[in-house]
């Protein structure tokens, strides 16, 4: 029973702090080209995007999940979406689903002066 709680705690702590989550991570697909998952802003908050990745490892769809996001600035939404679509790359392979789904969380942080 102790082992079960240890396993559960480790899994929850990893999923809380990870920036990419969902089916794509559960299936063990590796990220080949990382991006900065934070950006400076006057207030803190999060933008959460649902992504789909093709067999080549390219992000082909990126949709904002409004119900999970706390930022409504269109500027930051477009910049984050563009960054995900153009620079985030995953491991290629035919062993993965044609449209592999995942979640990307972008965090706004207040810069320290």
Could you give the CA distance from residue 113 to residue 104 in angstroms, rounded to a whole number?
A: 28
pTM: 0.81
Nearest to 45 by CA among 64, 22, 26: 64
The pair phi, psi for residue 7, each rounded to 5°, is -60, -45
- 90-107: pLDDT as tens digits: 999 998 999 999 999 999
Inter-residue contact 84 to 35 (CB < 8 Å): yes
- 19-47: pLDDT as tens digits: 999 999 999 999 999 999 999 999 899 99
Q: What pLDDT sits at residue 111?
A: 86
105: number of CA atoms within 13 Å, CB side?
A: 16
Of the chain, the percentage scoring pLDDT greater than 70 comes to 84
Average pLDDT over residues 45-61: 96
Q: How confident is the model at residue 1 (pLDDT cuts 50, 70, 90)?
A: low
The owner of tokens 């999060």 is 46
């Amino acid at each position: 029973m102790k082992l079960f709680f240890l396993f559960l705690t480790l899994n929850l702590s990893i999923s809380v702090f990870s920036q990419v989550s969902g089916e794509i991570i559960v299936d063990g697909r590796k990220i080949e080209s990382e991006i900065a998952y934070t950006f400076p802003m006057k207030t803190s908050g999060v933008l959460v995007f649902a992504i789909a990745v093709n067999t080549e490892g390219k992000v082909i769809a990126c949709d904002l999940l409004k119900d999970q996001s706390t930022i409504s600035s269109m500027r930051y939404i477009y910049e984050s979406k563009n960054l995900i679509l153009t620079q985030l790359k995953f491991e290629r392979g035919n062993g993965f689903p044609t449209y592999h789904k995942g979640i990307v969380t972008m965090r706004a942080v207040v810069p320290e002066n």
